[in-house]
Amino acid sequence: MSIASDKASLLKSLHFYEDFLKTISEEDFQLSPADGSWSYSEVYAHILGSNLLSTIAIEKCLNKTAEIKTSQSHWKVRLILFFGKFPPGKIKAPVQIAAAVKKISKEEASNLLIKSRKKIEALYPDFKYFNPHYKIKHPRLGYLGAKAWLRFILIHTKHHQNQIRRIEKALIF
């Protein structure tokens, strides 16, 4: 996929989160399913916080303040990026990411969505100068360049749309 199509798909996925946020009450947004999984609020905090950290990685790659790495990513990582999805099954968030997850309000989620959208839009023009050898280490996927980080944000954001749907099913009485 091209950078332009990944950006367009990511903005479309963020639109899903914006639309969904408008459909639920603050109380339902905070409600945790009985099985102990994350609430909508915690999913939003995770995905949007992770996205913002990932945009910082993109920015460092684009500004050439990242490490220079010429080696390719592991073949499993290349498959994830190529197919645009994580392998089936639940994946636990890295410890430092999971520890940062907290409940946020709908207003905070809305503000984070706006910030994410603006950050993606602001970084996009700089991709025309990107060098694929400037990379920042991802906690699970290893060193990623700017294009791979954008692709990761897209894959991760879409992945959590499925979690939103699972929570929705778990909360139906």
DSSP of 56-96 = HHHHHHHTT-SEE--SPPPHHHHHHHHHTSPPSS--PPPHH
Task: Supply the pLDDT for residue 68.
Answer: 92
pTM: 0.91
Task: Supply the pLDDT for residue 147.
Answer: 96
* Topology adopted by domain 3-171: Four Helix Bundle (Hemerythrin (Met), subunit A) (1.20.120)
Could you tell me the residue ranges of all domains in the chain? 3-171
Task: Supply the pLDDT for residue 35.
Answer: 74
**Below-70 pLDDT ranges, the chain:** 94, 173
